[in-house]
Amino acid sequence: MKALVYQGPGQKAWADKDKPEIQKPTDVIVKITKTTICGTDLHILKGDVPTVDAGRTLGHEGVGVVEAVGAAVENFKPGDAVLISCVTSCGKCANCKRQLYAHCSDGGWILGHLIDGTQAEYVRIPHGDNSLYPIPDGADEEALVMLSDIMPTGLEIGVQYGNVKPGDTIAIIGAGPVGMSVLLTAQFYSPGRIVMIDMDPARLELAKQFGATDTIQVGAEDPVAKILEMTGGLGVDVAIEAVGVPATFDICQKIVSAGGNIANVGVHGTPVQLHIEELWIKNINISMGLVSTNTTPMLLKTLNAGKVNPGKLVTHRFKLDEILEAYEVFGNAAREKAMKVILNA
């Protein structure tokens, strides 16, 4: 079969690989029908994630059809359409028992990281019963691909950790796929005002279409001064960081109101300075973490009921064997006006 193979920093190829086989009784082999590329894949390609070995198939998102199941798999059979979670979970360990699947003792984020991933014709999913979800009849498969990673990330680490409440004023820094997922899922909780902050005017325009009440363009405006002006000097109830650099975490520290929350979603590679000398007196909470995808069942229900449409994040479509071209487009997202790309097998 063919797969998108990481060959060390800066190098990748659409190459031949052995078709995966059942290795453990709990494994499921899935034939991919749709997959996508994540910002994390770009980080890996830059060499930012040294735990990824050369030869690894990338990708941790997608939908497909069950090809084969191990002897212990009870919930799925060949021919079933499934959604693949970016987080693998055994369902039995101490962390899985408290729904902290991100820290499963035999799983977590391993797909396209420590084991071969979804940017391939076939993928092996360990602990299939707990790491796959049946696809409802007639579901929009492009929208479902957004439920593998970005939508649960936005909801769990941005909205739920940030404790977004009805009427709140919230700010989301970073209007990429993850920030947009925060924007879409925050609306479940009816915040009063949603301010989207980014430097890319095209992404801010899209954010307005997706429900942002206000936008601030970094570079053209000072986000801290603007937020303080908008809120009568109080700041925002929830500041959500969806970029992963010190400058944006700093904005959050300066705009959070007394009693508010800073929810960090971004993956950071360098330390940030915590301004505890200013924040200690403000009765705030700071949260951060890796997505567990424990909200996937709830997101499936909201998608089914038409309460949210993450399919609108898809801007480009390619055939799976055009994946190198898709990487070019996704890697130049601002120039190409790209948000999420779908690869159709």
Ligand X SMILES: NC(=O)c1ccc[n+]([C@@H]2O[C@H](COP(=O)([O-])OP(=O)(O)OC[C@H]3O[C@@H](n4cnc5c(N)ncnc54)[C@H](O)[C@@H]3O)[C@@H](O)[C@H]2O)c1
- Where does this chain bind ligand X (CB under 6 A)? 39-40, 149, 153, 157, 173-179, 197-200, 203, 218, 242-245, 247-248, 265-267, 290-291, 333
User: What torsion, rounded to 10 degrees, do the Cα atoms 185, 190, 195, 200 define?
Assistant: 30
- CB closest to ligand X, residue no: 176
Total site size for Zn ion, rule CB under 5 A = 8
Residue 116 vs 198, nearer CB to ligand X: 198
What is the closest distance, in whole angstroms, from the C-beta atom of residue 145 to Zn ion in the complex? 11
With binding defined as CB under 5 A, does residue 265 bind Zn ion?
no
Given a contact cutoff of 8 angstroms between Cβ atoms, the answer to whether 245 and 267 are in contact is no
Residue 35 vs 253, nearer CB to Zn ion: 35
What is the closest distance, in whole angstroms, from the C-beta atom of residue 99 to ligand X in the complex? 15
DSSP 98-140: TT-GGG-TT-BS-BTTTB--SSBSEEEETTHHHHEEEPPTT--
Q: Which does 225 bind (CB under 5 to 8 A by kind): Zn ion, ligand X, none?
A: none
What is the closest distance, in whole angstroms, from the C-beta atom of residue 149 to ligand X in the complex? 6
Q: Which does 178 bind (CB under 5 to 8 A by kind): ligand X, Zn ion, none?
A: ligand X
- Please give the biggest Cα pair distance in the chain: 62
Given a contact cutoff of 8 angstroms between Cβ atoms, the answer to whether 211 and 222 are in contact is no
Give the per-residue contact string, 133-152, with Zn ion (x = CB under 5 A; - = no): ----------------x---
With binding defined as CB under 5 A, does residue 83 bind Zn ion?
no
Given a contact cutoff of 8 angstroms between Cβ atoms, the answer to whether 292 and 99 are in contact is yes
Q: Which does 242 bind (CB under 5 to 8 A by kind): ligand X, Zn ion, none?
A: ligand X
Residue 235 vs 244, nearer CB to Zn ion: 244
Across the chain, the runs of DSSP E, i.e. the strands, are 2-6, 12-16, 28-36, 62-69, 81-84, 122-125, 132-134, 169-173, 193-198, 214-217, 236-241, 256-264, 285-288, 314-319, 340-344
How many whole angstroms separate alpha carbon 263 and alpha carbon 177?
16
Residue 67 vs 200, nearer CB to ligand X: 200
With binding defined as CB under 5 A, does residue 96 bind Zn ion?
yes
How many whole angstroms separate alpha carbon 217 and alpha carbon 40?
24
Residue 96 vs 144, nearer CB to Zn ion: 96
Instruction: Give bridge partners of residue 195 from the DSSP assignment.
Output: 171, 214
Q: Which of 73, 90, 159, 206 binds Zn ion (CB under 5 A)?
A: 90
Cβ–Cβ contacts within 10 Å for residue 109, how many?
A: 22
Residue 27 vs 156, nearer CB to ligand X: 156
Angstrom CA distances, 168 to 250, 260, 299, stand at 21, 10, 22
| Interface with Zn ion (CB under 5 A) | 38, 40, 89-90, 93, 96, 104, 149
